[in-house]
Amino acid sequence: MDYNYPLRMDWSTDEMIAVTEFYTVIEKAYEEGVKRNDVLIAYEKFKKIVPSKAEEKTLFREFEQASGYKSYPIVKAASSGEEIIQGK
C-alpha cells in the first residue's frame, strides 16, 4: 500500500480508526475476499461518521483514486446478501 486513506482532519482519532478499518475491509475484499458480516459492520461504523450520502460518495471516489478499489460494489454485494464478498 503506497497511498494515504482519505480522512478528514475534524474527525476524532476513534472516527479515523473506524473509517480506516472500513477501507481495510474493502481492500481485503479485493485481495482475498471477506465475509458479508465484516463488510456490514465496518460500513455501519463508517455511516455513523459519514451519514451524508454526498460525503460518502466523495470519500468512495477519493479512496478509489488513491487505491484503485471501488467501495460501492462491495457494500452493495454485502447488502444484497452475498456471504463471501470478492471484489472484481
Q: pLDDT band for position 1 (50/70/90)?
A: low
Mean pLDDT on 9-14: 97
pLDDT at position 60: 98
Query: Angle formed by the axes of helices 53-67 and 13-31, to 10°?
Result: 60
Average pLDDT for the chain: 94
Mean pLDDT on 31-43: 96
Q: What pTM was computed for the model?
A: 0.93
pLDDT at 87 over 80: no
Q: pLDDT band for position 83 (50/70/90)?
A: confident
Distance between CA 36 and CA 55 in Å, rounded? 23
- What's the CATH architecture for 13-85? Orthogonal Bundle (1.10)
Residue ranges of the domains in the chain?
13-85
